């Protein structure tokens, strides 16, 4: 069941030109690379900050931790409060005591870095304090120019990853570099999930013997859990947890239910927020609320029997990215809210707050950081309950969001 169609926020931003066409559809030629890059990186300079903004519940203060990142993608907090940040070009950076270490962490595997491909997300083992395991999902290349997604694991020691090896290599080799997806998350039982985009291979997404447009579920060593939904079923890759995805850009554990939620890009509109259920088919490319580039319908109906519809969808799209549930104390009015990065074109990127009631029904949305006009690539809650985001820019920034001081005190 589709719970609600989200139009109000989209309509308010559409008039400003935020809804420029994005990555290429398999049956439609993309814009020239220069035009596409111009659309993607149209954000103005960030400025030095800090900034104070009003929100629906309280004032917030936004400050720059560092603006010396290059196309950051993923963010993870170490137990110490330090941060690991990935950069698409293949660098893993450390932010220690609020400062970016000038030297990247050594031991990262070689990546296939092309446009939107490269080093993607980073996640820590649930028992990182004992294991020191760090997980990276990245685009892996081979000599003929093809690439696929892979997950590597290594132990973080001092300023290097040791004993690094691929624990999963997707059966999804292609010469297309778009729509990689590539987010990581662990569930309560310690199983690892990864989102794998369709790589613009639409005819292969509904095929079950490959990993195009899938979410996979693995043990922490990359092996297949015996209770995966398709284990032992002929014609199915056993790693598959869900299928029918286009370009899932966010993945997070709902702390209230234990379910994994994911957001993903539609084609032209039809961006989605999904609750992942074992064995479910989310429809792409047979069922979508989005349109083909040029405005033609892609499917006869956006809802199809036997396929799971999104919890929420956006028409026009918002270009969602990283996803997080807020559980901290500094922002009590935000408890249980979902936060999603938005990489809106034409300088309309923002951080989207989605509010749910006690029954899990969406009751409102609030775009934040719109004044900064930055493409927000990832959002994470820190151990002390603050929010941090990274901006997807050539001069990318790590921003801290905290309550603004009370001016009356």
Instruction: Please name the residue that has the structure tokens 């013997």.
Output: 209
Matching residue, tokens 């870095």:
113
pLDDT in tens, 381-400: 999 999 999 999 999 999 99
pLDDT digit string (tens) for 75-106?
999 999 999 999 999 999 999 999 999 999 99
pLDDT at 44: 87
pLDDT above 90 coverage of the chain, percent: 81
Q: Please tell me the distance from the alpha carbon of residue 394 to that of residue 354, in angstroms, as a whole number.
A: 28
Q: According to the model, what pLDDT value does residue 266 have?
A: 94
- Sheet-wide strand order for 387-391: 51-54, 59-69, 396-403, 387-391, 376-381
Q: Which residues contact 91 (CB under 8 A, 6 or more apart)?
A: 70, 104, 105, 108, 119
pTM score of the predicted model: 0.90
23: pLDDT strictly greater than 80: no
Cβ proximity of 301 and 327 under 8 Å: no
Q: Answer yes or no: are the C-beta atoms of 121 and 183 closer than 8 Å.
A: yes
Residue whose pair of structure tokens reads 């921003």 in the numeric block: 399
What's the pLDDT score for residue 276?
98
Strand partners, 367: 352
Under a CB-based contact definition with an 8 Å cutoff, are residues 118 and 104 in contact? Answer: no
Place of tokens 């749910």: 356
Domain covering 4-403, topology? Neuraminidase (2.120.10)
Q: Radius of gyration of the chain from Cα atoms?
A: 20
CB contact at 8 A, 266 and 313? yes
Cα separation of 368 and 315, whole Å? 19
**Contact call for residues 151 and 121 (beta carbons, < 8 A):** no
Lowest mean pLDDT among 30-39, 142-151, 303-312, 397-406: 30-39
The answer to whether the Cα torsion of 232, 233, 234, 235 is positive or negative is negative
**170, 222, 220: which is closest to 197 by C-alpha?**
170
pLDDT one-digit tens code per residue, 284-318 = 999 999 988 878 888 888 999 999 999 999 998 99
Interatomic CA distance for residues 390 and 206, integer angstroms: 33
Mean pLDDT estimate for the chain: 89
Element (H, E) at 238: none
Ranking 186-195, 326-335, 355-364 by mean pLDDT, the lowest is 355-364
Neighbours of 408 (CB within 10 A): 4
For residue 116, the model assigns a pLDDT of 86
The residue extents of the domains of the chain are 4-403
Q: How many Å apart are CA 171 and CA 161, to the nearest integer?
A: 25
Cis before 85 (ω within 30): no
> Given a cut of 60, is residue 12 above it in pLDDT?
no
pLDDT, tens digit, for every residue of 151-201? 999 999 999 999 999 999 999 999 999 999 999 999 999 999 999 999 999
- The DSSP annotation for 326-374 comes to ---SS-GGGTT-EEEEE--TTTT-EEEEEEE-TTS-EEEEEEESGGG--
| Predicted confidence (pLDDT) at residue 6 exceeds the cutoff of 90 | no
Q: How far is CA 395 from CA 39, 142, 325, 388, in A?
A: 16, 29, 27, 17
């Amino acid at each position: 069941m589709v719970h609600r169609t989200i139009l109000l926020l989209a309509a308010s931003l559409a008039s400003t030109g935020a809804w420029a066409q994005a990555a290429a559809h398999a049956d439609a030629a993309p814009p020239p690379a220069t035009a596409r890059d111009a659309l993607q990186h149209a954000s103005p300079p960030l400025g030095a900050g800090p900034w104070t903004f009003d929100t629906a519940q309280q004032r917030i203060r936004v400050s720059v931790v560092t603006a010396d990142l290059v196309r950051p993608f993923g963010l993870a907090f170490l137990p110490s409060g330090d941060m690991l940040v990935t950069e698409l070009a293949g660098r893993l950076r450390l932010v220690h005591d609020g400062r970016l270490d000038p030297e990247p962490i050594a031991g990262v595997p070689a990546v296939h870095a092309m446009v939107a491909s490269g080093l993607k997300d980073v996640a820590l083992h649930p028992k990182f304090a004992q294991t020191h395991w760090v997980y990276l999902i990245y685009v892996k290349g081979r000599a003929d120019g093809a690439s696929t997604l892979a997950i590597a694991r290594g132990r973080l020691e001092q300023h290097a990853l040791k004993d690094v090896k691929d624990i999963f290599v997707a059966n999804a080799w292609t010469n297309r570099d778009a729509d990689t997806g590539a987010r990581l998350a662990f569930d309560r039982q310690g199983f690892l999930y990864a989102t794998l985009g369709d790589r613009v291979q639409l005819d292969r997404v509904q095929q079950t013997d490959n990993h195009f447009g899938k979410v996979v579920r693995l043990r922490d060593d990359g092996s297949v859990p015996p209770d995966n939904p398709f284990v032992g079923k002929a014609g199915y890759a056993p790693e598959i947890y869900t299928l029918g995805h286009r370009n899932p850009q966010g993945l997070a554990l709902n702390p209230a239910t234990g379910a994994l939620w994911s957001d993903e890009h539609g084609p032209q509109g039809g961006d989605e927020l999904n609750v992942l259920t074992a064995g479910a088919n989310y429809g792409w490319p047979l069922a979508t609320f989005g349109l083909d580039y040029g405005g033609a319908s892609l499917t006869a109906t956006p809802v199809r029997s036997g396929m799971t519809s999104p919890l929420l969808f956006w028409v026009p799209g918002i270009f969602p990215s990283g996803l997080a549930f807020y559980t901290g104390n500094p922002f009590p009015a935000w408890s249980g809210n979902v936060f999603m990065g938005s990489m809106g074109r034409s300088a309309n990127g923002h951080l989207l707050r989605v509010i749910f009631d006690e029954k899990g029904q969406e009751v409102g949305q609030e775009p934040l950081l719109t004044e900064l006009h930055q493409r927000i690539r990832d959002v994470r809650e820190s151990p002390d309950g603050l929010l941090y985001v990274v901006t997807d820019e050539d001069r990318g920034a790590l921003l801290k969001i905290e309550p603004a001081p009370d001016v009356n005190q």
